[in-house]
Structure 1
Amino acid sequence: AAPAVTSALQLLALLQREGRLVDFLEQDIASFGDADVGVAARMVHEGCRKALRGHAKLAPVRREDEGATVTLEAGYSPAEVKLIGNVSGSAPYRGVLRHRGWRAETISLPTPVAGHDASIIAPAEVEL
């Protein structure tokens, strides 16, 4: 069965409402100066971070600091750890942690009201 998309659309709508993420991603920023992009990115970051932290609890997959040497024993979860670089042989693997990864511990999205169209990420705005 196809996955339900309502939850994904709800999260996207929250990121748009709080941080204008869709507006930022859909804007052609090639002609903007670095300072302008930096100001916009800071505002998007602040709003999206607020939305994410308000509705999800995330934790790193690995607890070690990035740059630390780690050993992956046989039976490690490829869903949790992606091997990159010169991969050969079999576990145990010894390498440098480049990204700790993220795991969703909890997520709490608003319950849609009857008649809500989740495909509308943000309504058009008309000032009168």
Structure 2
Amino acid sequence: MTDPSASLSFFARVWLAWLCFWRCLVSGDFARAVLPASKAYDAGKLAELPSGQPPPPPVAVKPPEPAPAPPPEREHASALALLSMLQREGRLVDFLQENVAAFSDAEVGAACRIVHEGCRKVVGQYLTLQPVLPQSEGDRVTVPAGFDAQRIRLSGNVTGQPPHTGTLRHHGWVVSEVKFPTVSPAMDSRVLAPADVELA
């Protein structure tokens, strides 16, 4: 490849360097026009630049579009799967959708026993629960300074700064382990219980 400056004398190149130096200082447009040629020369690709024309502007790269949000039934598939299991084992949805005002206390109590047994089975199978505070309800407890307000809720005469001393009315619950099964994308998680049709 022929050096473009080979036909220029040493003094001509000195004059050109001096001229380019001052024009780069005073003219931003000139500096921007010279910069691509300088980079191409450093990379050995000067001949690839179109003669007498500025290099083409850089092509704007369109950022990738974010993935669409999943529909609500997929986003909340785990919660719907848990509700489906509570329905399957404890008939929870049936119980909640029933108008219990028309039933006697004995009938409601008998239904609650079935719901309690099935729902307790599901919770014990898929969730590990622990009390927030280890003390028994009714015990006197001390709430230290800097306590976690999500784990401990104060009630009654709340004045001053912690530590506070009071009576434990409920020890609270916290989930220490979750063991939900994977929800298959082929399943419609909105179906909590299929309709049951008995054929004659």
- Normalised by the length of structure 1, the TM-score is 0.94
Q: Secondary structure at the match of 1:57?
A: strand
Q: Distance in 2 between matches of 1:83 and 1:6?
A: 34
Residue 62 of structure 1, CA deviation: 0.6
Structure 2 equivalent of residue 41 of structure 1: 112
- Name the structure where helix makes up a greater proportion of residues: 2
Deviation (angstroms), 1:114: 3.3
1:75 aligns with 2:165: no
SS in structure 1 opposite 2:102? coil
The share of aligned pairs that are identical, in percent, is 49
Partner of 2:178: 107
Give matches, 1:46-125, under 5 Å: 46-125=117-196
Structure 2: which amino acid aligns with 1:127? E
Q: 1:122 offset after TM fit, Å?
A: 1.1
Question: Greater RCO between the two (CA within 8 Å, min separation 6)?
Answer: 1
Name the structure where strand makes up a greater proportion of residues: 1
Asked if 1:8 corresponds to 2:102, the answer is no
Aligned to 2:96: 25
Write out the 4+ residue segments of structure 1 that deviate beyond 2 Å after TM superposition. 1-4
CA–CA distance in 1 between the matches of 2:78 and 2:166?
36
Name the stretch that deviates more: 106-115 or 22-31: 106-115
**1:85 Cα shift?**
1.8
Count of residues in Structure 1 that have an aligned counterpart in Structure 2: 128
Bigger radius of gyration, 1 or 2? 2
For the residues of structure 2 that align with 1:79 and 1:37, how far apart are their CA atoms? Answer: 34
Q: Take 1:114 and 1:9, find their aligned partners in 2: how far apart are those partners? A: 13
Q: How many angstroms does 1:57 deviate by?
A: 0.8
Unaligned runs of 5+ in 2: 1-68
1:2-53: CA deviations, max 9, x gaps? 9931111111111111000111011000011000000000000000001110
Normalising by the residue count of structure 2, what TM-score does the alignment of the two structures yield?
0.61
Aligned AA (1:125): D
